[in-house]
Structure 1
Amino acid sequence: MCNDFPDSEYDLVVIGSGAAGMTAALVAHFGGMKVAVFEKDSYFGGSTAVSGGAIWIPDNPKMRAAGMTDNRDEAYNYIANETGELLNPSLVRAFLEAGPEMVGFMEENTYLKFEHRTFSPDYHSDQPGASLGGRVLDAQTFDGRLLKKQFNRLKPPIEDFTIFGGMMLNRFDIGHFMNITRKPASAWHAFRLLLRHARDRLLYSRGTRLTLGQAIAGRLAYSAIEKEIPIFTEVALASLKVEADKVVGFHTNDGREILAKHGVVLATGGFPGNGDLSKSVMPHVQAGSKHYSMSPKPAIGTAIEAAEAIGAHFVKTNKHAGFWAPVSLIPSQHGERPFPHLFLDRAKPGVIAVNLDGRRFVNEAVSYHDFVTGMIEEEVHEAWLVCDHQTLRRYGLGPVRPFPSPFKNQLRTGYLKRGTSLEELAEVLSMPSDNLIETVKRFNLDACTGTDQEFGKGSTDYQTYLGDAEHEPNPCLKPLEQAPFYAIKIYPGDIGTSMGLATDEKGRVLDKENKVIPGLYACGNDMNSIMAGSYPGAGITLGPALAFGYIVGRDASEAKRASENYKEEAV
């Protein structure tokens, strides 16, 4: 793995170094192909490296080994209900069949090892076919030191997802850190992690204990290193090379030509960094709403545009163009940076979201995708997350950490707003104080009874899963009573795009007449999402990315063997 000049020809070239592309490369390698990965960024890992790392694979072997059961037909029906008339039956069936196979293959042949979440409800846990646990997988924590000199080439995690200069925490760790002053076991767990991190910082620029998406990217990269699969960074796709109606390679941005005898795989992460394209398919942006993406900037849709240039079909009919997430903007020396409000704050007891008029507009505990969908449907271009002092110190709010972490800097920069009373907070936020007071009064009455009559916060297993299990009567509801009060402004955003290239069940790219374009594959967010713009559960981007990466690598290697056998028979 190096940035030496690549060979002029490979069996298969993969463009993009995230989970989908790396999986396709590894599977193809084990299928006997000469493979290379090309990455536009100066780092490898793509959006996978900065993701939460959840992987949705129904009926996977890890849950089965733990004695859990699942039904693929129920999972299919769940997806069908989510996607409605946009359901692509052949692709969904291919995913449900290949997903468990992929898990077994990767565990047997690579360093990508998984563990299942025993309890992790699908986002619409009250709907038919949903599961309360087992379908979501995580990569096992990975020791980044194994990457040696290549560690610095792995794309770093989002800065605000780390503490103390690059220390990563998983969900299990976060729970301990939130209870560090309350439970001795949590304090001991945190102490051991801090000691490990202190040792890391003597030799590395950040922590080497990799969790979440970093663990996936690190484990895949380590597997590629061992198999001597080259990953060339700072090599961008300019156009696809076509001969006799077949894709036979690509041209780089610096004029080089890389040939691929048996196919090109597009896995560059979609188009979240392409403002013009995003605006053309996002009605709320057209209406004037600000929108911020958490995906890496290099993902600007170049692969999709290159494929369209040779006749590929770019699907624009999904329910939503992106996988939505509310974001706030953190001031910094280099301008504002977006922070995603995924699962740590909105569902917690004592947190509400209000529009600029001081009124609630959505159930705060729904998934991040559904929360922004609510913003879009109610034409709320900006909103505020509001809580009281007790809630802020117990759970935190966005990047504002719970007690004992200080938060004076967030107040000083204006990121966190404060008022000694609701009237003062409303004045600070430039909203009608009567509306905010009435909103909080109504919410507080419901919180005391444990039932949010207005929006149903805390009414499903998924929502209460993200609340505080120790809080009663509802893990998601608590009155806002203890002054001072705080607020953070949030906007619509995304963690990736859902619209992509049309493919068949083998990951082969289709043209506008639904015919296969020979030699061209797509997976990850370059492939149109099998969820069609819906968001059924945690990991519905990485799950299909890994599954179709596996499918693509398998099909390409099988096609190579078939071609070689044909030539031998012809001789």
Structure 2
Amino acid sequence: SPDGPLHVTARHGVVLAAGGFPRDIPRRGELFPRTPGGRDHWTLAPATADGTGIRLGESAGGHVRTGASAGAWCPVSLVPYRNGRVGTFPHIMDRAKPGSIGVVSTGRRFVNEANGYYDYVTALFEAAPEGEPVQAWQIADARFVRRFPLGMAKPRPVPLFPYVRSGYLTKARTLGELARRCGIDEQGLIDTVQRFNTAARAGVDPEFGRGSTPFNRYGGDPSSHPNPSLAPLERGPFYAVRILPGSFGTFAGLDTDARSRVLDDARHPIAGLYAVGADQANVMGGHYPAGGVNIGPALTFGFLAGRELARAEVEATR
């Protein structure tokens, strides 16, 4: 409070719902993969999601449960604005469009780009060479950028020049020149694109199976034949946008029971303390089976916590 400490007494309980810890740099450094300084990560969450709720729960005897993954990953790119601010753009659908691929510094692909955003970043953690920053480049040709967005860059009729001028996009006449400008292995990228193009013309991706699932094809372009997910990269100039690991939020959180009650180290409920949303360890156990795995549990366990407190209110008035 601006006037000093404010003491609030809760009659029936406290619900922690402060947004998890995607902005808590020390805890990110402990729980996120390949973040040696804790700052090697770019989240889409607001600055207020700084882990306060989880720390409060720990101070009352709760503990953090991680599961298979601490974060709800999403590939992002950094957008420089003319006022000096840097934005964070989530790559949701552009990766699935035909005529673009993702590569690491070796020039090699590392994932089925048309799969989910969580899968893209998980694969990137594994594929980025040790000793290098965890980063990738989404590569596209001139035909792609006329028809589809490449990250923040918009297709025709929006001009691409401002994105190139700001450094958001790298542009080059040839793939070799593009590789040199990005710091990608030149021959590795050329070989990768040649292999990809040969298979894409036949509508297949032997390396990663892109376009083999309804989800992949849904994210593609139905006018691209024989596979909506695949098209060769063959018409210069070529473009690249740098991709970094990011997240929508966190999966790790306070351990709770099925009634949203925070558990102590012995897995006993702490009287009157509840955690929901991203302050609660996600019920999916750190997996990402589909979109909404942050929102669905937040709604469900928020309802359960509310019902518990309503029940306590009724019992107190009897």
TM normalised by structure 2 equals 0.94
CA RMSD of aligned residues (A): 1.7
Match of 1:385 in 2: 138
SS of residue matched to 1:402: coil
Paired residue for 1:184? Answer: none
- Residue equivalent to 1:419: 172
Whole-Å separation in 2 of the counterparts to 1:529 and 1:339? 24
| SS of aligned partner of 1:491 | strand
Q: Does 1:280 align with 2:30?
A: yes
Alignment equivalent of 2:117, drawn from 368, 371, 382:
368
Find 1:515's aligned residue among 257, 268, 274.
Answer: 268
Distance 1:507 1:536 in 2: 22
Instruction: State the 1:255 CA deviation.
Output: 0.8
Look up the SS of the partner of 1:352 in the other structure. Answer: strand
Residue correspondence of structure 1 range 150-189 to structure 2 within 5 A: none
C-alpha offsets along residues 223-249 of structure 1, whole Å, 9 cap, x if unaligned? xxxxxxxxxxxx6xxxxxxxxxxxxxx
Tell me whether 1:410 sits opposite 2:157 in the alignment. no
Q: Return the alpha-carbon distance in structure 1 between the equivalents of residues 251 and 305 of structure 2.
A: 19
Aligned counterpart in structure 1 of residue 46 of structure 2, from 273, 286, 296:
296
Choose between structure 1 and 2: higher helix proportion. 1
- Deviation of residue 459 (structure 1)? 1.5
Deviations 1:366-399 (A, max 9, x none): 1110110001122351110000011111111111
Deviation of 1:340 (Å): 1.1
Aligned counterparts of 2:217 and 2:293: Cα–Cα separation in 1:
21
Aligned equivalent of 1:394, options 147, 151, 173: 147
> 2:239 matched to 1:486?
yes
Q: Which runs of 5+ in 2 are unaligned?
A: none
Counterpart of 1:349 in structure 2 is 98
Change over 3 Å in CA distance of 1:466–1:254 after alignment to 2: farther
Separation of aligned partners in 2, 1:551 and 1:287: 38
Q: 2:189 is paired with a residue of what secondary structure?
A: helix
Q: List 4+ stretches of structure 1 deviating above 6 A.
A: none
1:430 aligns with one of 183, 194, 199 = 183
Distance 1:423 1:288, change over 3 A: farther
Supply the distance in 2 between the matched residues of 1:491 and 1:253 (Cα, whole angstroms). 42
CA change 1:288–1:443 in 2 (3 A) is farther
Aligned-residue offset at 1:289: 8.2
Residues 298-337 of structure 1 aligned to structure 2 (within 5 Å): 298-316=48-66, 318-332=67-81, 333-337=83-87
Unmatched 5+ residue regions in structure 1? 1-234, 236-251, 566-571
1:470 Cα deviation after fit: 2.7
2: distance between equivalents of 1:395 and 1:253?
A: 53
User: Deviation at 1:404?
Assistant: 1.0
Task: Establish whether residue 359 from structure 1 lines up as the match of residue 108 from structure 2.
Answer: yes
1:475 partnered with 2:224: no
Q: Pairwise mapping of residues 30-179 of structure 1 onto structure 2 (< 5 A)?
A: none
Residue 311 of structure 2 is aligned to residue 558 of structure 1: yes
Q: CA deviation at 1:430?
A: 2.5
**1:255 aligned to 2:5?**
yes
Which AA in structure 2 matches 1:315? R
Residue 206 of structure 2: aligned partner: 453
Among 255, 262, 266, the residue aligned to 1:502:
255
**In the aligned structure 1, how far is the partner of 2:223 from the partner of 2:275?**
45
Alignment partners' CA distance in 2, 1:509 and 1:253: 31
* Structure 2 contact 29–39 (Cα < 8 Å) conserved: no
Contact 2:139 2:241 in 1 (8 A): yes
SS of the residue 2:103 aligns to? strand
Partner SS for 1:308: helix
SS in 1 for 2:223: coil
Query: Secondary structure of the residue that 1:391 maps to in structure 2?
Result: helix
CA shift, 1:287, in A, is 8.3
Asked whether the 8 Å contact 2:25–2:38 carries over to 1, the reply is: no
1:275-312 CA deviation, whole Å, 9 max, x = no partner?
11111011311388821111111111111111101111
* C-alpha distance after superposition, 1:80-119 (max 9, x if no partner): xxxxxxxxxxxxxxxxxxxxxxxxxxxxxxxxxxxxxxxx
Question: Is 1:466 matched with 2:235?
Answer: no
Q: TM-score, normalised by structure 1?
A: 0.53
Higher relative contact order (CA 8 A, sep 6+): 2
Q: Offset of 1:544 from its aligned partner?
A: 1.0
Q: 1:536 aligns to what?
A: 289
- Paired positions, count: 313
